[in-house]
């Protein structure tokens, strides 16, 4: 028996994925965890209709020290967008809506900043990132977690977001429009977005362990803690996703279920009992390029086109069509990749926010099936991380060094009566600036976790140093004074390029109340 077990282990270790042996893939994942300081990761590979690799590595939580496995639930974040668009396709098949329907048909009160756009924006516009809003514009209404605004508040406040681009001209990734799309699903079906996803997609597909939102998975013990770098070392942080934004990124799932989802999609959206989730007509809509974006002339996969379909990014890699999406929250990132003509699916779920980590795994596995020799993505991305972190650290150190120097210029520093008070941004709400002893503080009414200290930087600006250091999103706040030296308004912008685009401080226009 012992001899037979040893033989089984030897044979099992020689299973290959493309040209990658299982043992080597295991080692790569372990080294990836160390290189990018990721506590835990789970990886799944689907090929020719079968789940051929499904493993968890490391820890699901640095706090509990429990292991990560293929059943550990992870917030898949924006990989939820593919579910949102599939839900809309189901409703289209049922004749309950059409992609070209005006949003106002289902949400009469919905408006955008431009009256023409308000009258003409369609359901398809909502989920193709082409409605004119900028990258992450409006995300502060739900990000970070713990905000006070409801879905209806967000739907109403869209009218105050001044578009950064003309209507239907540019792909600028935006979550708020997906929240509006989720509300369309709710109003048409009578179900909450999470209920619809669980009942109409997850259950038929066979995703037996997944949930439409984090709150619906609270009773599950085998789920990750999120982790983010603080002072250069990953630490556990609170789960970060508001229920208001489920349609943009709320799903909790694991490798087992995401592999089932990949198998369904690769099998022409057919469930294991042989039923089609959506019609071929709808699949063509979902996986057709709706809005293109630029591609570098030289890139590692000879990609000639890139853009967004309905819920997925579409591109070509070495002549093969690729359907892919990533997802990111504070403390977790995920990647979902399909190459349909190879019948290949690759899923990587993590509990740290290093996109370079999941790219290392996905690209290595993908290359093996494309017949590309090992390009050592771990070294490429590891070196890139070091270079990027060095630049980010330089930006932050220079900002705080200038602030420290300015603190010595007592005669140049603004007086508290010039800027203390309440300010308001029409879509974000009230922001209060106060004095506590010798320190200045900032707090945001509709985002209570967004609070911190204000450090003098110049005669009209401060650095906002957020209390939660996992945000890595410290920002400048710059005041505009009237003729009497009293602040009337303020603008904000990050001090470093590391700041996640969902901290869309630059879109705020704070007016003194």
Q: What is the pLDDT of residues 350-382, one digit of tens each?
A: 999 999 999 999 999 999 999 999 999 999 999
156 preceded by a cis bond (ω within 30 of 0): no
Q: Give the fold, CATH level 3, of 2-369.
A: Beta-lactamase (3.40.710)
- pLDDT value, residue 506: 97
- pLDDT value, residue 9: 33
Of 65-69, 272-276, 489-493, where does mean pLDDT reach its minimum?
Answer: 272-276
Mean pLDDT of the chain, nearest integer = 94
- pLDDT value, residue 411: 80
CB-side exposure of 321: number of CA atoms within 13 Å?
A: 14
Average pLDDT over residues 43-56: 97
- pLDDT value, residue 15: 52
How far from 33 is each of 39, 140, 234, 352, 386, CA to CA, in Å? Answer: 6, 30, 11, 10, 15
Domain definitions of the chain by residue range: 2-369, 389-512
Average pLDDT over residues 26-38: 98
- The whole-model pTM stands at 0.94
362 contact partners, CB below 8 Å, separation of at least 6: 335, 337, 346, 348
Q: Kindly report, residue by residue over 381-437, the tens digit of the pLDDT.
A: 999 999 999 999 999 999 999 999 999 888 888 899 999 999 999 999 999 999 999
Q: How far apart are CA 147 and CA 141, in angstroms?
A: 7
Q: How far apart are CA 106 and CA 322, in angstroms?
A: 33
- pLDDT value, residue 239: 79
Q: How far apart are CA 190 and CA 145, in angstroms?
A: 26
- pLDDT value, residue 4: 39
Helix H, strand E, coil C: the string for 172-185 is CCCCHHHHHHHHHH
- pLDDT value, residue 7: 32
Q: Kindly report, residue by residue over 146-198, the tens digit of the pLDDT.
A: 899 999 999 999 999 999 999 999 999 999 999 999 999 999 999 999 999 99
Tell whether the model's pLDDT for residue 225 goes beyond 60.
yes
Q: How far apart are CA 513 and CA 507, in angstroms?
A: 18
Q: Kindly report, residue by residue over 436-473, the tens digit of the pLDDT.
A: 999 999 999 999 999 999 999 999 999 999 999 999 99
Tell whether the model's pLDDT for residue 1 goes beyond 90.
no
Quickly state the pLDDT bin for 18 (edges 50, 70, 90). Answer: confident
Domain range 389-512, CATH architecture:
Beta Barrel (2.40)
Average pLDDT over residues 117-128: 98
Tell whether the model's pLDDT for residue 14 goes beyond 70.
no
- pLDDT value, residue 272: 86
């Amino acid at each position: 028996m012992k001899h037979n077990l040893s033989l089984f282990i030897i044979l099992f270790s020689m299973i290959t994925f493309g040209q990658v042996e299982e043992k080597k893939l295991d080692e790569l994942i372990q080294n990836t965890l160390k290189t990018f300081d990721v506590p835990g990761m789970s990886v799944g590979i689907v090929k020719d209709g079968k789940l051929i690799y499904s493993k968890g590595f490391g820890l699901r939580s640095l706090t509990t020290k429990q292991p990560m496995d293929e059943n550990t639930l992870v917030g898949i974040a924006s990989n939820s967008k593919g579910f949102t668009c599939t839900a809309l396709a189901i409703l289209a098949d049922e004749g309950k809506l059409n992609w070209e329907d005006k949003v106002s048909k289902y949400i009469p009160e919905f408006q955008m900043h431009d009256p023409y756009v308000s009258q003409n924006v369609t359901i398809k516009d909502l989920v193709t990132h082409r409605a004119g809003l900028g990258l992450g514009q409006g995300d502060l209404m739900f990000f970070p977690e713990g905000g006070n605004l409801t879905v209806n508040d967000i739907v109403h406040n869209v009218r105050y977001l001044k578009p950064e681009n003309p209507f239907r001209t540019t792909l600028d990734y935006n979550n708020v429009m997906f929240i509006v799309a989720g509300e369309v699903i709710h109003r048409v079906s009578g179900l909450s977005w999470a209920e619809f996803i669980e009942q109409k997609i997850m259950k038929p597909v066979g995703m037996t362990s997944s949930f439409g939102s984090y709150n619906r998975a609270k009773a599950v013990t085998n789920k990750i803690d999120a982790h983010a770098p603080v002072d250069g070392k990953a630490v556990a942080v609170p789960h970060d996703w508001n229920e208001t934004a489920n349609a943009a990124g709320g799903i909790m799932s694991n490798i087992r279920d995401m592999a089932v989802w990949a198998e369904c999609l690769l099998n022409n959206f057919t469930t294991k009992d042989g039923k089609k989730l959506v019609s071929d007509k709808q699949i063509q809509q979902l996986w057709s390029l709706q809005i293109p974006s630029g591609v570098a002339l030289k890139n590692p996969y000879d990609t000639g086109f890139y853009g967004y379909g309905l819920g997925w990014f579409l591109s070509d890699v070495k002549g093969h069509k690729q359907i892919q999406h990533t997802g990111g929250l504070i403390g977790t990132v995920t990647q979902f990749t399909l190459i349909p003509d190879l019948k290949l699916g690759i899923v990587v779920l993590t509990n740290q926010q290093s996109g370079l980590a999941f790219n290392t795994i996905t690209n290595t596995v993908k290359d093996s099936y494309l017949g590309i020799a090992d390009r050592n993505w771990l070294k490429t991305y590891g070196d890139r991380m070091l270079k990027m972190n060095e630049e980010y650290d330089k930006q932050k150190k220079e900002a705080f060094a200038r602030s420290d120097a300015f603190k010595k210029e007592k005669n140049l520093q603004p007086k508290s009566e010039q800027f203390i008070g309440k300010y308001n941004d029409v879509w974000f709400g009230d922001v209060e600036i106060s004095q506590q002893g010798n320190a200045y503080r900032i707090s945001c009414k509709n985002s209570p976790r967004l609070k911190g200290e204000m450090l003098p930087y110049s005669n009209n600006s401060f650095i906002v140093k957020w209390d939660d250091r996992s945000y890595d999103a410290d920002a400048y706040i710059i005041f505009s004074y009237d003729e009497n030296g009293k602040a009337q308004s303020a603008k904000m912008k990050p001090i470093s390029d590391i700041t996640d685009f969902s901290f869309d401080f630059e879109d705020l226009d704070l007016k003194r109340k």
